[in-house]
Amino acid sequence: MSNVYELLQRHPMLLTANTTIIGSEARLPSGWAEHINEHKVQIITADWLTAQAYHADKENPQVQFGVPDVSELSGRLVIVLWPKAKAAGQALISMLSQQLDSCYVVAANDAGGKSIGNALKDHASESSKMDSARHCSLWNVRLNKSDAPANWLRFASSFQAGDLSFMTLPGVFGHGKLDQGTALLLEHVPAPAHGKILDLGCGSGVIGLTMKSRSPALDITLSDVDAMALRSAELNSARLGLSAETIASDGLMSVEGRFDYIFSNPPFHQGKRTDYEFALRLFRDARQHMTRDGQLWIVANRHLAYEEWASEAFRSAEVMVQRNGFKLICASDPK
């Protein structure tokens, strides 16, 4: 995906102080962050890792982490890095159409770059491919003007989890439905009576907020790498009247303190490839964030050897239940 930046570098006239790039990709090519800083290009990313990559060597004041506010983009040249979730890209383009006549869209060909014109046929009067290189495509898109309210909630979807109703913004894991792994955890793990809970990779906050609804005395922290997920979790917290702290973090990297319970339904895909790094780091680092009698509860696909990996860091790592291709693992007593 860092190839999209290399494609954009072929068009320096697009990278000026009047440019806003919206999107996420943490693997920055050499010199890209320096170029962005020097030419004062604005970056808006919902991915915490991408924001941190821009700040790795030098603070870039033009880089913003959060949900894009399109009301601030009128008159600017906007380049969209097409997201992995097609619905999220379409929602963003629809939002931009309320402020802009046109924008640019860039994507890797195997992530939808070849078919941007078709993906935006309901949102654009014209889509033309400007360039194709490094297995990526750059499109110029003339937008259909929209008078709809500039509100991300127009694209939210809702679902039931037990007695509670949750909403998710587009692109968030479990958008519009309760995934089977989380459902398995909520069915088989009773809410503790008290203590501190960390819902790691919280998505829309289903696990942590459900536990809070069952045991109001719990102290809940919701953490995710994605700003759209954190906004969804904050909205659900407010809608349900269940207080919780939200933290942007890649795994446990920015989490402080110790918890009596850590719950996680960790991702194991990055695009089309399998990626176990999140789970491996979690097992390695969790003990530093657990109380003496703390427990780590993990949802995993049945074929993943998570209990074996967990046993390297914990004296107890057991599969508590298996169903519908998922298993629930409890790890405790760190070595």
What domains are defined for the chain? 3-143 (3.40.50.150), 156-334 (3.40.50.150)
Tokens matching residue 238: 């407010």
Q: What tens digit of pLDDT does each residue of 191-242 get?
A: 999 999 999 999 999 999 999 999 999 999 999 999 999 999 999 999 999 9
Beta carbons within 10 angstroms of residue 240's beta carbon: 17
Please tell me the pTM assigned to this model.
0.94
Does pLDDT of 271 surpass 50? no
Share of the chain above pLDDT 90, in %: 84
Instruction: Read off the pLDDT band of 56 (50, 70, 90).
Output: confident
Does pLDDT of 305 surpass 80? yes
The DSSP secondary structure of 268-323, one letter per residue, reads: -EETTEE--HHHHHHHHHGGGGEEEEEEEEEEEETTS-HHHHHTTTEEEEEEEEEE
Does pLDDT of 148 surpass 90? no
